[in-house]
Amino acid sequence: MTTIVIGAGVIGLSAAYHLARRQAGRVVVLEKGPIGDGSSSRAAGIITGLLWSPTGVLVRKRSLALFRELSRELDGYQFRETGCRNLFSAEGWTERQPLLPLYDRLQAPYEILNEDEVSACWPSLRVPEGTTGLFDPLGGYSETSEYLPALAAKARTLGVEIRDQQQVYGFLLRNGRVAGVKTAAGEIEADAVISTVYSWTRALLEPIGLPLPVKCFVHQRYVCRPRPSLPNIPAVNANPCRIYFRPALCGGLLGGIETPEREEFPVRSLDFHQSSLSVDPDLRRELRNRMQILLPGQALPSWEEEKIGLLTFSLDGEPILGPVGQLPGLFVAVAFHSGGFAYNPAAGELLAEFVADGRTSIDVSAFSPDRFPLEEIEPYLAHTIAQKDVVRRRH
Ligand SMILES: Cc1cc2nc3c(=O)[nH]c(=O)nc-3n(C[C@H](O)[C@H](O)[C@H](O)COP(=O)(O)OP(=O)(O)OC[C@H]3O[C@@H](n4cnc5c(N)ncnc54)[C@H](O)[C@@H]3O)c2cc1C
C-alpha cells in the first residue's frame, strides 16, 4: 500500500507520522518548497480546546493529549503548558456561555476567572471592565520552529520519504478513482492520496472538478525583542481587542492582530508563495497599543520579527477533513481557520485512520468534504467577502 501526502505543513507531516506509526505501508510526502513553507512556519502556535462544536471540542481534546505525548516522543520539541486564556466582551460572552454545558458533557475543563483571580494568577495581566475570561487549563502553545523539524525528523525515522521541492500539478485518474499524482519528476502511483495544501486547495482541486467552499485571508503576527524580565502570562486570545499574545522562545513576546475589514485573498496558482504578501506597517503600532491595555505597566519593546501568511476558512467555519465521496482514493484536509496548528496532531491521526481503516476513532462526519451542496458552493465562491463576513473562528 502506498500513500502520497501532498504538502509538508503540520497537517501533512502529522498524517505521514501517524500512517508510519501504524506501519500502514509506504508513505511519501511531496512538498513544493522546503518543509513548513506555507502557513505552518508562520503560525503563532496557540492552542485551546474550548471550541464551539461537539466535533471541534472532541478533536481538540485529542490534539491536546497528543501534544503532551509528542513532547515525550519528539526530540527538541516541548508543548508549553501555560494554559490559554480566552477573553470575551459582554456580547461575545452571550454567544460563548451557552457552550459551557457542552464542555461539561465532553469533559473539556475550563475556569471562569474574575478580575481579582486573574491578577492573583498573572500579576502583570489586567482584564478590562466588562470582560469575561474563560481559562483553558489544558491549553498552551508550541514553537513551530521546534515542532516542524522535530516532527519531520521523527516521520523520517519511522520510514516516511519526504521529498521537498516537488510540486504536484495534477492527479492520475483511473476508473473514476484517484490513482496517484503528477509531478515534474514524473508520475507516482498510489492507493491513497491526501491533499493537505491548505491555501492552495482550490488551485489544486478545481481542475479535477472538485470545488470546495474555502476562502483565504491574510493574517500577521510579530515577535518583539527579548525582555530583561518576561511577564508571567499564559497564551491569551483577547477577542474583544481582536489580538492574541503569548511568551516567545527568544524571551520576548509574540502577538498577532486581526484585520476584519480585509478582503479575501484568492490563490489562483500553484506557484503562489506567501513571501509575496505584505501588510500595513501601522498594524505593529496598533497591536502594541492594544496589548498595552492588557499589560499595563509593561514597557513593550518594538516588534522585530514579522510573519505574514494565509488562513483558510470554509463556508460553515468548520474544518474539511476526510475522504472525497466522488473521487475514491482522495482524502482532503483543509480550512482549519486560524487553528490548524492546534488541530494538527489529531487531524493527522484521523487522516491515517481514514486511509488505513476506513473509519475513525472520533465521528468527524461534521467535517466531511461531501457536506456542502453544489448550489451553496457556487454562490459562495462567486462573491468576494471580507474577513468579518466569514464565520469567526480563533485558534
Ligand atoms: C500569522 C499566522 C498565525 C497563526 N497562528 C495560529 C495559532 O496560533 N494557532 C493555530 O492553531 N494556527 C495558527 N495559524 C493557522 C495555521 O498556521 C494553519 O491553520 C496551519 O499551519 C495549516 O497547516 P497546513 O499543513 O494545512 O497548511 P500549510 O502549512 O500551508 O502547508 C501546506 C503545504 O502545501 C505545500 N503545497 C501547496 N501546493 C502544493 C503542491 N501543488 N505540491 C506540493 N506541495 C504543495 C505548501 O508549500 C505548504 O508547505 C496561524 C496562521 C498564520 C498565517
For residue 395, being part of any structural domain is answered with: no
- 369 Cβ below 6 A of ligand 1: no
Name every residue whose Cβ is closer than 8 Å to that of residue 78 and which is 6 or more positions away in sequence.
Answer: 71, 142, 146
For residue 328, being part of any structural domain is answered with: yes
390 vs 199, residue with greater confidence? 199
Q: What is the pLDDT of residues 314-331, one digit of tens each?
A: 999 999 999 999 999 999
Q: Average pLDDT, stretch 102-117? A: 93
**Per the structure, how many domains does the chain have?**
1
Q: What is the SS3 string spanning 21-59?
A: HCCCCEEEEECCCCCCCCCHHHCCCEECCCCCCHHHHHH
- pLDDT over 70 percentage in the chain: 99
For residue 394, being part of any structural domain is answered with: no
Domain that holds residue 162: 2-389
Report the mean per-residue pLDDT for the chain. 95
Please say if the pLDDT value at position 162 is more than 80: yes
Q: How confident is the model at residue 394 (pLDDT cuts 50, 70, 90)?
A: low
Q: Name the DSSP class of 111.
A: E
Cα(36) to ligand 1 centroid in Å equals: 7
Q: What are phi and psi of 205, to 5 degrees?
A: -95, -25
CATH number for position 269: 3.50.50.60
C-alpha–C-alpha distance, residues 40 and 48, integer Å: 17
For residue 90, being part of any structural domain is answered with: yes
Please say if the pLDDT value at position 343 is more than 80: yes
For residue 245, being part of any structural domain is answered with: yes
C-alpha–C-alpha distance, residues 223 and 245, integer Å: 9
pLDDT for res 395: 61
- 43 Cβ below 6 A of ligand 1: yes
Q: How confident is the model at residue 392 (pLDDT cuts 50, 70, 90)?
A: low
Q: What is the pLDDT of residues 41-84, one digit of tens each?
A: 999 999 999 999 999 999 999 999 999 999 999 999 999 999 99
Nearest ligand 1 atom to the CA of 38 is: 30
Maximum pairwise Cα distance, the chain: 66
With the most atoms of ligand 1 within 8 angstroms of its CB, the residue from 67, 187, 341, 351 to mutate is 341
**Residue that the C-alpha cell 472520533 belongs to:** 362
Please say if the pLDDT value at position 313 is more than 70: yes
- pLDDT over 90 percentage in the chain: 86
Cα(32) to ligand 1 centroid in Å equals: 13
Please say if the pLDDT value at position 103 is more than 90: yes
With the most atoms of ligand 1 within 8 angstroms of its CB, the residue from 6, 32, 39 to mutate is 39
- 309 Cβ below 6 A of ligand 1: yes
The long-range contacts involving 65-69, CB below 8 angstroms and separated by at least 24 positions, are 66/345, 66/346, 66/349, 67/140, 67/142, 67/345
For residue 267, being part of any structural domain is answered with: yes
pTM, entire model: 0.98
Cα(5) to ligand 1 centroid in Å equals: 14
For residue 29, being part of any structural domain is answered with: yes
For residue 28, being part of any structural domain is answered with: yes
Pick the residue whose CA is nearest to atom 48 on ligand 1. Answer: 38
